[in-house]
Amino acid sequence: MRVIAGIATKQCTLLKSCSRTTQQLFRQASSVASSVPSNDESSAAVAGEAASKTGKRRHLVFNNRTGPSLHHFLAQPLGKSASDVSTATPEEIPYMQVTDWGQGRKYYVEVYGCQMNVNDTEILMAVLNKSGYQRTMALEDADVIFLMTCAIREKAEDRIWSRLTFLKSLKTKSDRAPMIGVLGCMAERLKEKLLDSDKLVDVVCGPDAYRSLPRLLSLRSTSADGVANVMLSADETYADITPVRLDANKISVHLSIMRGCNNMCSFCIVPFTRGTERSRDIDSIVSEVRGLSQQGIREVTLLGQNVNSYRDTSQSSSYDTQGYGADLSRGFSTIYRRKEGGRRFAELLHRVAQVDPEMRVRFTSPHPKDFPDELLFVIRDNPNVCRNIHLPLQSGSTSCLERMRRGYSREAFLDLVQHIRQIIPDVTFSTDVIAGFCGETEAEHQDTLSVMRAVGFDMAFMFAYSMRERTHAHRKFQDDVPAEVKTRR
């Protein structure tokens, strides 16, 4: 009993000490708060004054003039009840109020790059339409012009810069100058450069920030400076947003099941522009496919940067405790942290195929490392899953593949092709190939050609290597293959 009483006494003393410390902190915070300027004299105003003195132009992610001060983050004075502290609602906070600036305004959108950009545009349209915007097919009628951009190669970015120059001339000649917004991967990669580009761009919005676009447009309408939100997210999948199709008459649809990429191939900018890999939950995907079937869609393509590494790790579906090795194709490896639990791509593909046996199902773009036997069996056993597999090779040289950090050798790739054909005899293959990667010799190029002949691809997408800043190759290697050699290869 003395031991228990002693413990209780110590706990009481500790609680009293904590209480005194808490009261001291509140008094200090109140003292600090009293010296903090009001919203009209907030940090944004101070920063603006400093910027004007230095002559530097400022770009705000959000306009802080009506934003919160330190007062918003302090608790009520001591003595108030918990109910008194928690009565505020979002509507009472000025910087959270909803704007109706978009009501009736028209937007025009141009899409460049991959199919993921098309899907992102359809998500973006859903966000804008909900805020009162209307899409127009006429450039001259638009209040806002959006460019959904690609950053995978330098040529793609050059095309956007050229387009921005044209749009600037349109703004200067128009009585009603439209806003110009740059979205997607180029926005993520070149955020500051875009805003500093002689007032070419009004709004910059990255792939994970489309929900904030109506707010950004509203802020830009009352600001002399461009605005941006390029924050990458660890969990954004837009699973709760039903895309608005760019072409409502098409009977085939691309459906995004995941975002980002963990592979960190040395040539690729995608992990830096789209963030780390995260997957939608299976139920939301199956529900969307069911809705598409009811609308008469006859073909759906499941979409992801590394689509067959999909894994639903939500709590309701974390039942899988198999070892990591079972996930990978034989002879393949990765450099990222192992994944555990969750439902994998094979289960998702099977469930999607079962929604409508008359609906054709495809998927892109996969990585060769993520073709375990269970996935191959699903493709074989479901007649509506197309038998064409996109299998990106990139290079047929083991030494070049090592520099690319692809996680396999030429022999492992050829063994995988043979293994797939054993399970799915009528399969066909397409591929991606990069010509002229850093240090690629003529012998390494010939190795690539020999693999292509051995496999007999039905289709190949071939690209001259383009060095991208921030990638592993940019940090470690030299872009030393001449342009004319890349083109020849």
CATH at residue 180: 3.40.50.12160
**pLDDT reported for residue 11:** 41
The verdict on residue 65 lying in a domain is no
CA–CA distance, 434 with 326 (Å, rounded to integer): 29
Contact 105, 144 (CB under 8 A): yes
The verdict on residue 290 lying in a domain is yes
**pLDDT reported for residue 351:** 97
The verdict on residue 22 lying in a domain is no
The tokens for 344 are 């994998």
The verdict on residue 89 lying in a domain is no
Distances (CA, A) of 468 to 271, 311, 396, 436, 478: 12, 29, 22, 14, 11
Same-domain check for residues 383 and 293 = yes
**pLDDT reported for residue 22:** 43
Same-domain check for residues 443 and 362 = yes
CA–CA distance, 72 with 1 (Å, rounded to integer): 47
Closest CA to 72 of 101, 99, 43: 43
Same-domain check for residues 395 and 484 = yes
**Radius of gyration of the chain from its Cα atoms, rounded to whole angstroms:** 27
Distances (CA, A) of 14 to 1, 26, 82: 20, 18, 23
**pLDDT reported for residue 222:** 86
**pLDDT reported for residue 162:** 93
Same-domain check for residues 449 and 348 = yes
Same-domain check for residues 384 and 285 = yes
Closest CA to 462 of 424, 432, 428: 432
CA–CA distance, 346 with 371 (Å, rounded to integer): 9
Helix (H, G, I), strand (E, B) or coil at 124: helix
Contact 157, 120 (CB under 8 A): no
Residue 441 is given by DSSP the state -
The verdict on residue 1 lying in a domain is no
Same-domain check for residues 408 and 464 = yes
Residue ranges of the chain whose pLDDT lies below 50: 1-98, 316-325
The verdict on residue 40 lying in a domain is no
User: Which residue in this structure is represented by tokens 């004007």?
Assistant: 52
**pLDDT reported for residue 315:** 56
Side-chain half-sphere CA neighbours of 385 within 13 A: 23
**pLDDT reported for residue 389:** 98
Query: What range does the domain containing 211 cover?
Result: 106-229
Q: Count CB-CB contacts under 10 A for residue 470.
A: 12
The verdict on residue 208 lying in a domain is yes
CA–CA distance, 176 with 142 (Å, rounded to integer): 9
Residue 144 is given by DSSP the state E
Q: How does DSSP assign 160-211, residue by residue? A: HHHHHHHHHHHHHH-SSPPEEEEEEHHHHHSHHHHHTSTT--SEEE-TT-GG
Same-domain check for residues 309 and 356 = yes
The verdict on residue 159 lying in a domain is yes
**pLDDT reported for residue 50:** 39
pLDDT tens per residue across span 264-314 = 999 999 999 999 999 999 999 999 999 999 999 999 999 999 999 999 988
Helix (H, G, I), strand (E, B) or coil at 212: helix
Same-domain check for residues 479 and 433 = yes
Give the chain's domain count: 2
Q: Residue 185 burial by CB count (10 A; 0-12/13-18/19+): exposed, middle or buried?
A: buried
Same-domain check for residues 344 and 446 = yes
CA–CA distance, 16 with 35 (Å, rounded to integer): 29
Give this prediction's pTM: 0.77
Same-domain check for residues 256 and 224 = no
Same-domain check for residues 256 and 136 = no
**pLDDT reported for residue 450:** 98
Same-domain check for residues 154 and 204 = yes
Contact 309, 277 (CB under 8 A): yes
Helix (H, G, I), strand (E, B) or coil at 184: strand
**pLDDT reported for residue 338:** 67
